[in-house]
Chain A
């Protein structure tokens, strides 16, 4: 009797275990079906090529003849390549100047436009617009406005009494070409980082300002001791993003100076592009890409460390 009673219970438990397992398998399949469409595309067109890029850096290949193993040949070549060394330093200069400049402008704009003012949405949109505007279109305007002989900027400087001999040649002048590219970059991207700062500012608890006000803090002290520390995570994010973007700079250089005059605005990605699609030296171009990757990685890791210390 007791054996009969125990039997159905055991069976039911077994059924439950089976159905639970089946449900878990089902759940997993459902989850994978959600991920699959994106992940398949991502794996084939992004992950795969990334792994291949790392391998290619240690090969000789022109894209049609058989691939040959190169060991560290491509790596040693970097040190003898004048253009690479120029591109490396130009990229560093671009980053070191444009990152703090863009950051400061973006924060300043966000502070101005976080106040209650008439037409605030219009002003925000206006600041952001250069970021979404077509690069080809704005670069050609930029080149015309900064045209050394006829452009309105130099005409204005001339009217203000600057000697034509001292006039900056902007994109055509090896001393001013980098300045022109940097100014363009700051103008184009600061609106985007302003939006990120605006989001950060809106997350600050207004009680903190009230408390600081009660303690007799003036506007600058409030900024220095409430706003800046509260914005630290935003600033961290903006710095990392900006640095990565600066290391990757290409399009605007291509449009404004084509890397010249000479090598004065040649940057790493420009060199990668030239080596790959002009010289068809795919292994060497991947080695330069690898350098770029480690630069980005190093900066990101250093920033993360510094943020942790704070």
Chain B
């Protein structure tokens, strides 16, 4: 009895050691980034690494705002991200309700149209999309990126999978109580779909906030740029200012970190219930 207990303890210690070691490797680049963001550029590469700078240079964090219009880039990105995420949540859950709970002609054909494009790499049609936007005179506008990202097959698919798991009887009962379909969607389905909505929010927020290729193709005017291409611009302009680059990178990471941490408790549940695992 005693022997097995000790063996269990040893294996548990091994598990903890492994997990902690992997976590350190995963987070090391972030720790290095944070540490370097508080250093003078010439101290960034000093080896052995001084993890906690003895004289933290907080000025790096004030200086970046004057070197590039960082505040403007953050404003642009926030605007885009919030509009895209809201439109995505609203239109996807709206369409998904019909696909999951209503009967109408050409339902399967329409849904197949969505499914068929999920596996289609965006890069396959990004050129014609660009030409279309140019035709609509939408190049160098934020509207182009909103149209591009707000209506995805992925969102409809994810929400539909979740709604399928809600029993039809719930809708039937509400119909007998005299609710119309819009009321059922707003008062019954939406409150029930928090995990799926959170998952979709994380995905949409993260993809839009971090999108690089889209803004790079569509936005060439500095005053329209997003944080990702702004950061990229900063890196190529001040390629030797390592401390500043790291400080700007930390600033670019923070909003995603906040959204992710505040919604992550729904996340595993959301992935599981929306059938994302297949």
Give the interface of A toward B (CB within 8 A): 27-28, 30-32, 34-35, 37-50, 52-53, 56, 63, 109, 112-113, 115, 117, 121, 123-130, 132-138, 140-142, 144-145, 147, 150-152, 155-156, 159, 187, 191, 195-200, 202-203, 233-234, 236-238, 240, 244, 247-248, 250-251, 254-255, 269, 272-273, 276-277, 282, 285-286, 289-290, 292-293, 296-297, 300
Contacts and interface: CB of A to CB of B under 8 A. Distances in A.
B123 A132 contact: no
B176 interface: no
B92 A38 contact: yes
Interface in B222-236: 227-229, 231-232, 235
Interface of B: 15-16, 18-19, 22-23, 26-27, 29-30, 32-33, 36, 44-45, 47, 49, 90-92, 94-95, 97-99, 102-105, 107, 110, 113-114, 117, 119-132, 147-148, 150-153, 155-156, 180-182, 185, 202, 206, 209-210, 212-213, 217, 227-229, 231-232, 235, 242, 245-246, 249-250, 252-253, 256-257, 260-261, 264-265, 267-268, 271-272, 276-278
Given A27-B104, A35-B95, A42-B114, A137 B18 contact: no
A159 to B, nearest CB: 8
Contacts of B18: 112
A230 B146 CA distance: 40
Contacts of B47: 152, 155-156, 159
Given A196-B276, A237-B277, A34 B181 contact: yes
A233 B278 contact: yes
A42 B277 contact: no
Contact of A39 (B110, B147, B229, B246): B110
User: Which 8 pairs between the two chains have the least Cβ-Cβ distance?
Assistant: A237-B278, A41-B151, A137-B249, A199-B272, A34-B98, A31-B104, A38-B91, A49-B128
Contacts of B181: 30-31, 34
Contacts of A159: 47
A125 B264 contact: yes
Contacts, number: 273
Contacts of A300: 119
A21 to B, nearest CB: 13
Given A112-B15, A142-B29, A286 B127 contact: yes
A171 to B, nearest CB: 14
A137 B16 contact: no
Given A45-B129, A199-B268, A135 B228 contact: yes
B127 A285 contact: yes
A27 B103 contact: yes
Given A37-B91, A196-B271, A199-B272, A32 B245 contact: no
27 contacts: A31-B102, A32-B98, A32-B104, A34-B97, A38-B156, A46-B151, A52-B131, A53-B125, A117-B15, A126-B23, A132-B206, A134-B249, A136-B210, A136-B231, A138-B249, A156-B47, A195-B267, A195-B268, A196-B276, A199-B271, A233-B277, A237-B277, A240-B119, A248-B123, A282-B127, A289-B123, A292-B121
